[in-house]
A and B are shown apart, each in its own frame.
Chain A
Amino acid sequence: MRSGLLRRIPRDLKKSWTRYLALMVLIIASMYIVVSVVGMTEVTIQGTAKKIEENRIQDGQFQTFEKLTTEQVKEISDMGIITEEIFYVDVSHGENTIRVGKVRTDIDLIDIDEGALPVKDDEIVLMNLYCDRNGLSLGDQIVIAEKTFTISGIGSVPDYNLPLKNMSDMTSDPSRFGVGFVNSESYEQIVNSDNTGSEVYIYAYRLCGASAAELKDKLKTFDYDYEMSDNVYLKEIIDKKLQDKYDFEDGLDELGDGIDELSDGAKDLYDGASELHDGVSEMKDNMPDLVDGTDELLEGASDLYDGVYDYTTAVDSAAGGANDLSDGAVVIADAVPPLAEGIDDLSDGLDEISGNSSDLRSGAYDLYDGADELADGVSELSDGVDELYDGSEELLDGTVELCDGVAELSDGYKEFKDSTEEFLEDAFEVDISLLEEFTENKDNPRIASDAASDVLIKKSIGLFAGAVILALIAYVISVFTGNQIREESSVIGTLFALGIRKSEIAVHYIILPLFLTFVAGLAGMLLGFSKYGVEFQMQDVYEYYSVPVFENIRPLYLIIYCCAVPPLIAAIVNYLVINGKLSSTALSLMRNEDRQRIKGNEKASREKKNFLDDFKSRQIRRERRSIAAVVVGMVISLVLLLMGVSCYVLCNNVKQHNIRDASCEYTYVLKYPPEDVPEGAEECYAKSLKHTYLEYTLDVTLYGIVDNSSFFEARPSKCENKVVIGNGVATKYSLGKGDLLILTDSSEDRNYAFEIEDVVDYSIGLTVFMNIDSARELFGAEDDEYNVLFSHDKLDIEDGRVMSITTRDEIINTAGIFVDQMMSLVIIMISISVLIFVTVMYLMINVMIRRASLSIALVKIFGYRSGELRRIFMDGNFFAVALSALVGIPLCKTFVDRIYPMFIANTAMENDITYPWWLWFFIFAAVMTVYFIISTMLMGKIKRIEPAEILKNRE
Chain B
Amino acid sequence: MYLTTKDLKKSYGEGGSYSQVLKGINLEVEKGEMCVIQGTSGSGKSTLLNLIGGLDRMESGSVKVDGIEISGLGNKALAEYRRANLGFIFQFYNLIPNLTVRENIRVCQYLGKPAMDMGELLDTLGLTEHMNKFPSQLSGGQQQRCAIARALIKNPKLLLCDEPTGALDSKTSKDILVLLEKVNRRYNTTMLVVTHNNSIKNMMDHIVIMKDGMIVKNYINDNKIEAAMLEDL
Which residues 99-115 of B have a CB within 8 angstroms of A? 99-100, 102-103, 106-111
A863 touches B81 (CB 8 A): yes
B91 touches A863 (CB 8 A): no
B82 touches A861 (CB 8 A): yes
B98 touches A622 (CB 8 A): yes
**For the complex, what is the distance from the CA of A649 to the CA of B134, rounded to whole Å?**
53
A863 touches B80 (CB 8 A): yes
0/1 interface trace, chain B 52-89, chain A, CB 8 Å (1 if under): 01011000000000000000000110011111101010
Contacts of B53 in A (CB 8 A): 861
Contacts of B75 in A (CB 8 A): 943
Contacts of A854 in B (CB 8 A): 94, 96-97
**How many A residues touch the partner, as a band?**
20 to 34
B108 touches A862 (CB 8 A): yes
Contacts of B92 in A (CB 8 A): 954-955
Contact A951 B94, CB 8 Å, known A595-B136, A863-B86? yes
A855 touches B90 (CB 8 A): no
A618 touches B99 (CB 8 A): yes
Q: Which of A594, A859, A866, A948 has the most CB of B within 10 A?
A: A948
The answer to the question of B20 belonging to the interface, with a C-beta cut-off of 8 Å to chain A, is no
A864 touches B79 (CB 8 A): yes
Nearest CB on B from A672, distance (A)? 85
The answer to the question of A335 belonging to the interface, with a C-beta cut-off of 8 Å to chain B, is no
0/1 interface trace, chain B 117-137, chain A, CB 8 Å (1 if under): 000000000000000111011
Nearest CB on B from A901, distance (A)? 47
Which residues 734-787 of A have a CB within 8 angstroms of B? none
The answer to the question of B50 belonging to the interface, with a C-beta cut-off of 8 Å to chain A, is yes
Contact A954 B94, CB 8 Å, known A598-B134, A861-B55? yes
A615 touches B107 (CB 8 A): yes
B134 touches A602 (CB 8 A): yes
Main SS at interface, chain A? helix
Contacts of A861 in B (CB 8 A): 53, 55, 82, 88
Contact A865 B91, CB 8 Å, known A611-B106, A618-B99? no
**For the complex, what is the distance from the CA of A593 to the CA of B111, rounded to whole Å?**
29
A951 touches B55 (CB 8 A): yes
Contacts of A863 in B (CB 8 A): 79-84, 86, 111
A948 touches B50 (CB 8 A): yes
The answer to the question of A897 belonging to the interface, with a C-beta cut-off of 8 Å to chain B, is no
A947 touches B55 (CB 8 A): yes
Write the residues of chain A forming the contact surface with B, with a CB cutoff of 8 angstroms: 593-595, 598, 602, 604, 607, 611-612, 614-615, 618-619, 621-622, 854-855, 858-866, 943, 946-948, 951-952, 954-955
Contact A611 B109, CB 8 Å, known A595-B136, A863-B86, A865-B76? yes
Nearest CB on B from A867, distance (A)? 11
Set B84, B96, B109, B111: member contacting A858, Cβ < 8 A: B96
Closest-by-CB residue of A relative to B55 is A948
A619 touches B94 (CB 8 A): no
**For the complex, what is the distance from the CA of A888 to the CA of B96, rounded to whole Å?**
33
**For the complex, what is the distance from the CA of A390 to the CA of B99, rounded to whole Å?**
135
**For the complex, what is the distance from the CA of A955 to the CA of B102, rounded to whole Å?**
24
List 12 contacting pairs A-B, 8 Å CB cutoff, sorted by A: A598-B134, A611-B106, A612-B110, A618-B98, A855-B98, A859-B96, A861-B88, A862-B82, A862-B83, A864-B79, A865-B83, A946-B56
**For the complex, what is the distance from the CA of A29 to the CA of B182, rounded to whole Å?**
62
Set B50, B76, B94: member contacting A866, Cβ < 8 A: B76
Contacts of A946 in B (CB 8 A): 55-56
**For the complex, what is the distance from the CA of A859 to the CA of B86, rounded to whole Å?**
12
**For the complex, what is the distance from the CA of A611 to the CA of B137, rounded to whole Å?**
22
**For the complex, what is the distance from the CA of A952 to the CA of B42, rounded to whole Å?**
12
Contact A602 B76, CB 8 Å, known A611-B109, A612-B110, A948-B55? no
